[in-house]
Amino acid sequence: MRVLVDSSVWVDFFNDYPSRSAGEVQRLLRSEHELCVLGVVALEVAQGLKHERRRRRVLDLLRQLTLLDPDGIDTYLRAAELHRELQARGVTIRSSIDCLVVAAAEAHGCRLLFRDRDLERIVGSGLAAVLRWPGSGADFIAEGS
C-alpha cells in the first residue's frame, strides 16, 4: 500500500516528537508499504532544517521515498476545487498546499498520514476519495497542535 506522509508528520518524526503519527512513520519505514512524498512536502520539511547533521539525515531519507508528482494541471485544479467546495461550506483552509496534498493522494491512490487540523477538515469533509492512514489526525486534537 502507498502512504503519502505529510510535512506535519515528518516534522514530528525528525524532531523526535512523540506523536502517534511519528511512531507510525517508524513502523512504516520497517514495513513493506511504500512511503511517498510530494515535492512541496519535501520543500516544507527541508526549508525548516537548521542543523547540518540533522539536515543530511533528513535529506537522505527523503531521497529514498517515492516522489509523487501532481498529474499535470488536473491535480492542481482538483486542489482548487476542494478549496472552493470547502469554502462554500464555511470551512477555511489556511494553506492551498493542504488541498494539493489531498488531491495528489487521491490521484495516486495513496492513504494519507498527517497530523494537521486543515488536512483533518479536508479528509473529514468526504469531498475527496482519500483514506487516512491509521494513526492520522487524532493526536493533534489532544496535543493542541
Q: What is the CA 131 to chain-centroid distance, rounded?
A: 12
Q: Would you say domain 2-134 falls under CATH 3.40.50.150?
A: no
Mean of the pLDDT values across residues 106-133? Answer: 94
For 52, the enclosing helix (H) or strand (E) is helix 52-64
Residue 64 burial by CB count (10 A; 0-12/13-18/19+): exposed, middle or buried? Answer: exposed
The residue extents of the domains of the chain are: 2-134
What is the 8-class DSSP label of residue 16?
Answer: T
Q: Which tens digits make up the pLDDT trace of 61-105?
A: 999 999 998 878 999 999 999 999 999 999 999 999 999 999 999
Give tens-digit pLDDT for 123-144: 999 999 998 998 776 554 444 4
CA distance 36 to 34: 6
Taking the mean position of all CA atoms in its chain, how far away is CA 36?
9
Q: pTM of the prediction?
A: 0.89
Residue 107 predicted with pLDDT over 70: yes
